[in-house]
């Protein structure tokens, strides 16, 4: 599959594919006889995974770690467990922050009909306290 086809199916710019290659997220494809990149059938799925992970707030370095784990992780099971455990802890912290923000927004909605100076929207307090509670 050519670059333009993968990009169109994954809904990204063709330059994104080249960037992912340079970052080591997408394996460099084989070249056709005429020099065009020829991606394998998994390329679209992989690019969609990368974009979705970014949409969820993961950095490209995070995505690289996740892809490494998806490929079976490091040779050592201990190292794989350590990487996966660290990712779980990071996700738990993100979820706590998001829940705190949601709680603050819900309180604002509940007090929305009141005058502005009596509305309650403690988003900064909720997020700040969730950050302070992290180990």
pLDDT tens digits along 23-38:
999 998 999 888 888 9
Identify the sign of the CA torsion 44, 50, 55, 56: positive
The pLDDT of residue 7:
95
Using CA atoms, how far residue 88 sits from 63, 66, 81, 83, 117, in Å, is 14, 11, 10, 9, 40
**Mean pLDDT, all residues of the chain:** 83
pLDDT tens digits along 51-71:
998 988 888 998 898 888 777
């Amino acid at each position: 599959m050519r670059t333009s086809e993968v990009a169109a199916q994954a809904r990204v710019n063709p330059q994104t594919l080249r960037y992912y290659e340079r970052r080591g997220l997408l394996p460099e494809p084989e070249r056709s006889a005429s020099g065009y990149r020829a991606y394998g059938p998994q390329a679209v799925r992989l690019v969609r995974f990368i974009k979705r992970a970014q949409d969820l707030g993961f950095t490209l370095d995070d995505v690289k770690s996740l892809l490494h784990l998806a490929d079976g992780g490091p040779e050592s099971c201990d190292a794989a467990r350590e990487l996966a455990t660290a990712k779980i802890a990071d996700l738990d912290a993100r979820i706590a922050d998001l829940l705190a923000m949601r709680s603050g927004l819900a309180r604002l909605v509940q007090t929305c009909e009141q005058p502005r100076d009596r509305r309650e929207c403690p988003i900064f307090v909720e997020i700040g306290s969730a950050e302070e509670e992290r180990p």
